[in-house]
Amino acid sequence: MVPTPHATLASLLARHAGRAHELLPLLHALQDTEGYVDPAHVPAIAAALNLSRAEVHGVITFYHHFRSAPPPSTVVQVCRAEACRSRDGEALVAHVQARTGAHIDGDACHGVGVESVYCLGQCALSPAVTINGELHARVSPARFDVLLADAVASKEGRHD
Amino acid sequence: MTETAKSFRIYIPRDSAALALGADRVAAAVAAEATRRGVAIDIVRNGSRGLFWLEPLVEVATPAGRVGYSNVRPSQVAALFDGGWPACAAKDAERDVSHENPDGSWDAAMPACVGRVEAIPYLVRQQRLTFARVGVTDPLDPADYEAHGGLAGLRACLALDAEAACQTVLDSGLRGRGGAAFPAGIKWRTVSRAQSVQKYVVCNADEGDSGTFADRLIMESDPFVLIEGMMIAALSVGASEGIVYVRSEYPHAIAALEAAMAVARREGWLGPDVLGSGRACELRVAKAAGAYICGEETALLESLEGKRGVVRAKPPIPALSGLFGQPTLINNVITLASVPFIFAHGAQTYREYGMGRSQGTLPVQLAGNIRRGGLVELAFGVTLRTLLDDFGGGTASGRPAKAIQVGGPLGAYLPEAQWDVPMDYEAYAALGAVVGHGGVVVHDDTADMAGLASYAMEFCALESCGKCTPCRIGSTRGVEVIERIRRGDTSARQVKLLHDLCDTMVSGSLCAMGGMTPFPVRSALEHFPADFGLPDGAGCAEAA
Ligand SMILES: Cc1cc2nc3c(=O)[nH]c(=O)nc-3n(C[C@H](O)[C@H](O)[C@H](O)COP(=O)(O)O)c2cc1C
Ligand code: SF4
Ligand code: FES
């Protein structure tokens, strides 16, 4: 059974109640189940953990990992750090934008969003990307097209 | 693990680098193909040897040793079996494979046999102390760990009192591998002597530097060595709780560590009664959330306390007042993973590696535009030229190398004239460079150094914790000035402005984020003025 968001939140609030230092694990758990941290939940989280709303909001916005809105159905992250740059990573960024129609760190297009990430630990096999959380290294523009098509197809339930 | 006499043992890595190149699908294909053909096999999901250009590197155990097949693709597995694999591996072990330059060829029609893996020069020429088991063992098999020397360090530590244990670390000469190179033994002793009921050991596994993956490789490929190192640290300083703070960009490392901790708990290596000693220490993983500054130790503590990762002013030092105000030992993954060897083999043995005040080994991470990128563990003192040519085999593009950035995004760009300086903390400091976490990122002659300098400032602006103005605002101004120069305003005024800005950041920043961002910027400007549209010599501070 998939818990409703409210049940998820309620159990998380109960689990971390009164423990301000557990704000990050709580936010991670919430984002892992709902895909993002809904700003509407901030007051309840603040109250449960004995924090001000500003503190909770401040934490959510400080960390790049947390989202305040639902993610697009397909998320592409492209590494923008030095080792990927040394192997045409920025040309890959341009290719990914052109292919998906999405602007990096901007609006998604047809359900595909493109984001920057700064190092995936694959610097010896650069450039590196993730597609819906799955890691890929040594990504050429041609290989990216294949990987993206596979990822979109498997999202749509076609596992061929 | 049971093995029938005729079963072939096949190793397929589960390190994320291998996974990023399809290792899971290769393993599935090998298992399916073996079943279809009735070949008895036993697949071990080992870690990676760190010879990443060969991944996925599939190895078959033979009486003569493990024989490797590089760059295996799922679609090639059936054809591989058609050729008599894996039985042919025994013959391939005898075959004269050129070991001189085993070259991964990602586009090859068939996997290449690289012969006996342990004979590959890239591996033979290394001095693997901390990484000795990496790629060899099953990362989650406790018996395999012990059979390869695991736990000897922890057992030796249990025989020592806290003072003697801290002295061992001091005697080894080990300095923190996370960047600042502070003597580990002094830090351990400070925490050990601090009076408090509650103390913590925190492992910094934030590994945010581009070009670094040594921490990741340890966590994914030999997590037990980190666990053992943390237990040694905890017992030595009197901590009952250890936390590994891992970046969220490393989900495989987090999963591997959590799985390894569960095994270690079951085996009694951690928990209420460590190896039957009656002493207790618990370990857990904390997941970070994508902020580079949280690699800085005090920002990391803030993050562990559930707050924004804003840097704390020191003093007080974390060793006396760290997590929740309690004495806290914070060390990098490699620092802690180096400790089991030191306790097992003696401080003096470790100290025999290295040069000057840089003792022991440094795991160098060869990355960027390099033909054979990977992990190279060597005693301090190796040169970039040796790494680039002998290990790396030159650039991946085949073009001449131009600049090498050492030590992550806050490290300097070294021009060819500096590639013969031995890697040692003091020798690099004399160049105005840093060894940092040992990340080496190669750029070929197409690199635009002005663009990279601009990116360095941009990264600082993006990742600054916001506490001090030179870092928060100066970095944005830095991008603007560099962009003005790149657009053609190459007047001495602009160059001077950039240098002044760098001076302000160096002297006015609370931590190395703002204080070191000028390193890559200035080195690019000084050594590669042409990329900024400047004449020779015009990038130097004195000229400006
Ligand atoms: C901006 C910044 C980022 C850092 N990032 C890391 C990191 O990712 N991993 C790490 O171990 N140390 C990092 N450090 C160094 C830590 O502050 C600290 O020196 C280290 O964790 C101490 O461990 P060690 O003595 O074992 O090196 C960083 C420092 C700064 C200023
Ligand atoms: S230098 Fe930058 S990152 Fe460091 S404390 Fe100051 S503002 Fe924060
Ligand atoms: S720099 Fe891109 S993976 Fe490390």
In this prediction, residue B104 has a pLDDT band, given cuts at 50, 70 and 90, of: low
Residue A31 contacts by C-beta under 8 Å, 6 or more apart in sequence?
A37, A65, A66, A67
* Unique residue bearing structure tokens 């490789």: B217
For domain B142-352, give the CATH superfamily.
Answer: NADH-ubiquinone oxidoreductase 51kDa subunit (3.40.50.11540)
Interchain CB distance below 8 Å, A125 and B207: no
Q: What is the SS3 assignment for B191?
A: helix
Q: Mean pLDDT in chain A?
A: 94
Residue range A83-95, pLDDT digits in tens: 999 999 999 999 9
pLDDT in tens, B381-434: 999 999 999 999 999 999 999 999 999 999 999 999 999 999 999 999 999 999
User: Which atom of ligand 2 is least distant from the CA of B472?
Assistant: 7
- Mean predicted confidence (pLDDT) in A16-39: 97
CATH number of A5-62: 1.10.10
- On average, the pLDDT of chain B sits at 96
Across residues B196-215, what is the average pLDDT?
98
Contact A155, A147 (CB under 8 A): no
Which tens digit of pLDDT belongs to each residue from B77-101?
999 999 999 999 999 988 777 665 5
State the nearest Cα–Cα gap between B397 and chain A, in angstroms. Answer: 8
Query: Does residue A157 have a pLDDT over 80?
Result: no
Place of tokens 């070949």: B39
Strands B282-287 and B241-246, how do they pair?
A: parallel
Q: In the CATH scheme, what architecture does the domain B449-540 have?
A: Up-down Bundle (1.20)
- Rounded to an integer, the average pLDDT of A128-136 is 98
Which chain A residues touch B308 with a CB distance below 8 Å?
58-59, 62-63
pLDDT at B97: 74
B355-444 topology per CATH: Ubiquitin-like (UB roll) (3.10.20)
Q: How confident is the model at residue B102 (pLDDT cuts 50, 70, 90)?
A: low
Q: Which atom of ligand 2 is nearest to the CA of B467?
A: 7
Closest partner residue to B409 (CB to CB) among A55, A82, A87 is A82
Chain B CB within 8 Å of residue A25 CB: yes
The confidence band for A1, taking pLDDT boundaries of 50, 70 and 90, is very low
Looking at CATH, the fold of the domain delimited by A74-157 is given as Glutaredoxin (3.40.30)
Nearest CA, atom 14, ligand 1: B296
Superfamily for domain range B8-125: Glutaredoxin (3.40.30.10)
Q: Tell me: pLDDT of B350 over 80.
A: yes
Distance from CA of A20 to the nearest CA of B (A): 6
Q: Give the DSSP letter string of A21-54.
A: GGHHHHHHHHHHHHSS--GGGHHHHHHHHT--HH
**Per-residue pLDDT band at B1 (split at 50, 70, 90):** very low
CA distance B52 to B444: 20
Instruction: Answer whether B212 sits within 8 Å of A123, measured CB to CB.
Output: yes
CA B513 – CA B463 distance, rounded (Å): 8
pLDDT digits (tens, 9 = 90+) for B297-322: 999 999 999 999 999 999 999 999 99
**Does the beta carbon of A59 sit less than 6 angstroms from any atom of ligand 3?**
no
Among residues B372, B367, B442, B382, which one has the least CA distance to residue B120?
B372
Q: Treating both helix axes as pointing N-terminal to C-terminal, what angle do B449-463 and B474-486 enclose, rounded to 10 degrees? A: 160
Q: Do A122 and B106 touch (CB under 8 A)?
A: no
Kindly give, in sequence order, each residue whose CB lies less than 8 Å from that of residue B73, ignoring residues fewer than 6 positions away.
Answer: B22, B26, B111
Domain residue limits, chain B? 8-125, 142-352, 355-444, 449-540
Test A64 with B289 for CB contact under 8 angstroms: yes
Task: Tell me the best of B204, B218, B362 to mutate to test the pocket of ligand 1, counting ligand atoms within 8 Å of each CB and taking the most.
Answer: B204
Q: What is the pLDDT of residue A141?
A: 98
B201 Cα to the center of ligand 1, angstroms: 14
Measured between beta carbons, which residues in chain A are less than 8 angstroms from residue B524? none
Grade residue A155 by pLDDT with cuts at 50, 70 and 90: confident
Ligand 1 centre to CA of B332 (Å) is 7
Which pLDDT belongs to residue B185? Answer: 98
A 117-146 → B contacts, CB under 8 A: 117-126, 128, 133, 135-138
Q: Is the pLDDT of residue A50 over 50?
A: yes
Task: Tell how far the Cα of B288 is from the centroid of ligand 1, in angstroms.
Answer: 14
Cα of B482 from ligand 3 centre, angstroms: 24
- How many angstroms separate the CA of residue A3 from the nearest CA in chain B? 23
Closest-CA residue of chain A to B106: A138
Q: Is the pLDDT of residue A2 over 80?
A: no
Q: Are B200 and B322 in contact (CB under 8 A)?
A: yes
pLDDT digits (tens, 9 = 90+) for B105-135: 777 888 999 999 999 999 999 999 999 999 9
pLDDT-based confidence at residue B3 (cuts at 50, 70, 90)? very low
Q: How far is the CA of B486 from the centre of ligand 2 (A)?
A: 27
Q: Is the CB of B293 under 6 A from ligand 2?
A: yes
Q: For residues B248 and B245, give the distance between their C-alpha atoms in angstroms, rounded to a whole number.
A: 9
pLDDT digits (tens, 9 = 90+) for B469-492: 999 999 999 999 999 999 999 999
| Domain ranges in chain A with CATH number 1.10.10 | 5-62
HSE (side-chain half, CA atoms, 13 Å) at B477 = 18
